[in-house]
């Protein structure tokens, strides 16, 4: 649950007497897309309006803990400060990119990975680097590699990648 991830990262006890959420932090709350944080913002504004001079912090996640937002709210007006998003995005866009091989074939190493379960069957998802330096994305159903992804330390592990018409497959090497 995202609330507990934040507790762990900030060293806050899950039973902190200050309370952790205004909305419960429910992972199953309904709403389209990233609608749930809107409820947290609305409740935070409602609460701090009752306490002039106070601040409220809203932290929220989206996707599968893959996106994050934070907002600090106050009852004290402040001057508007335009953001620098355009300049920052241009700076990021100028950074070098990594070449990606869509149809990967050959020897490589695991750079990062995860395992999903399709009807209980584990499927590895691997981002790795071929020996030529290009990056690849693949899946794996190889029992030996899946065991390593689940129980071992796969980062930097040597693999073999083969491209098929349905995508790349990774195998233990």
Which CATH topology does 106-172 take? OB fold (Dihydrolipoamide Acetyltransferase, E2P) (2.40.50)
Which residue bears the tokens 């897309």?
Answer: 33
User: What pTM does this model have?
Assistant: 0.57
**Has residue 145 got a pLDDT over 70?**
yes
Q: How many whole angstroms separate alpha carbon 164 and alpha carbon 173?
A: 18
Q: How many whole angstroms separate alpha carbon 128 and alpha carbon 150?
A: 17
Look at residues 49, 52, 60 and name the one whose alpha carbon lies nearest to residue 20: 60
For residue 73, with 0-12 CB atoms within 10 Å meaning exposed, 13-18 middle and 19 or more buried, which class applies? middle
Contact 90, 114 (CB under 8 A): no
Q: How far apart are the first and last CA of the chain?
A: 35
Highest-confidence range of 26-30, 42-46, 76-80, 163-167, by mean pLDDT? 163-167
pLDDT tens figures, 41-88:
898 999 999 999 999 988 877 766 677 788 999 999 889 889 999 999
Look at residues 141, 133, 132 and name the one whose alpha carbon lies nearest to residue 167: 141
Please list the residue range(s) of the chain that carry CATH number 2.40.50.840.
Answer: 106-172
Find the length of the chain: 173
């Amino acid at each position: 649950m995202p609330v507990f991830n934040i507790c762990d990262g900030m060293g806050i006890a899950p039973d902190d007497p200050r309370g952790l959420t205004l909305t419960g932090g429910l992972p199953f709350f309904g709403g389209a897309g990233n609608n749930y944080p809107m409820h947290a913002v609305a409740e935070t504004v409602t609460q701090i309006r009752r306490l002039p001079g106070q601040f409220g912090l809203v932290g929220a996640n989206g996707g599968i803990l893959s996106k994050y937002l934070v907002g600090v709210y106050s009852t004290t007006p402040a001057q508007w400060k335009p953001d620098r998003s355009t300049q920052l995005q241009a700076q990021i866009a100028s950074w070098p990119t990594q070449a990606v091989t869509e149809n990967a074939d050959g020897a490589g190493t695991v750079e990062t990975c995860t395992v999903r379960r399709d009807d209980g069957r584990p499927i590895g998802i691997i981002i790795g680097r071929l020996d030529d330096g290009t990056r690849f994305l693949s899946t794996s159903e190889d029992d030996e590699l899946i065991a390593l992804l689940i129980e071992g330390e796969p980062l930097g592990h040597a693999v073999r990648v083969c491209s098929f018409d349905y995508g790349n497959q990774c195998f233990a090497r």
